[in-house]
Amino acid sequence: MIRGGHVDLTVLGALQVDEKGTLANWAIPGKMLKGMGGADGPRCRAKRVFIAMEHATRDNKPKILKKCTLPLTGVEVVDHIVTELAVIDVTPDGLLLRELAPDATLEQVQSLTEPKLLLPRGGPKPFARVAFKML
C-alpha cells in the first residue's frame, strides 16, 4: 500500500524538522541505534506528510531548525508540523504559522523555533477544536 503510492497522507514523529521540510527521526549520534524502523516507507510515498512532535527539547532548545543536525530520514518531504504549541505549514517561502494553541503566544513559539516564522494575513488562528466520539 505505502510503497505503491496508495496512501494520501502519513503522520510521523520527528526528532527535528528544518525550514525546507527535511526530516530527521531515526537516530541520535552516540545513542543506541535500532535502525530506521518504519518511517522510511511512509515518508517516501505518501502524498502529504504531517509531523506530530513536541515543539522543543526537554531543555527548551528548538526542534524546528534552519537545518537539521541529526541523520536525515527524508529531504524536503514534510508538508505540515503539528506541536503542542502550533500548527505550521512548510511552504516554498518558509514556515507559515497557521494555528496557535490557546495558551501559547507568538513570541513564545518564535523563541522556540529557529527559523523566522511567516504569518498569514490576519495572523494565526486559534487551534481548531476537534471532538472525538468513541463508538
Q: Under a CB-based contact definition with an 8 Å cutoff, are residues 49 and 77 in contact? A: yes
The SS3 assignment for 42 reads: helix
Contact 77, 44 (CB under 8 A): yes
Whether this prediction's pTM lies above 0.75 is answered by: yes
Quick one: which of 54, 44, 55, 42 has its CA closest to 12? 42
- Domain 9-126 CATH class label: alpha beta
Average pLDDT over every residue of 79-102: 97
> What are the two backbone dihedrals, phi and then psi, of residue 110, each rounded to the nearest 5 degrees?
-65, -40
46 vs 40, more confident = 46
How does pLDDT run across 93-120, given as a tens digit for each residue? 999 999 999 999 999 999 999 999 999 9
Instruction: Give me the mean pLDDT over the 67-84 stretch.
Output: 94
Computed over every residue of the chain, the mean pLDDT equals 86
The pLDDT of residue 41 is above 80: no
In tens, the pLDDT along 45-71 reads 678 999 999 999 999 999 999 999 999
Instruction: Supply 35's cell numbers.
Output: 535502525
Residue spans of the domains in the chain: they are: 9-126
> Please, are residues 97 and 111 in contact by the beta-carbon 8 Å criterion?
no
Q: What integer is the mean pLDDT of 81-96? A: 97
Sign of the four-CA dihedral 109, 115, 119, 120: negative
Q: Which DSSP category does 95 fall into?
A: E
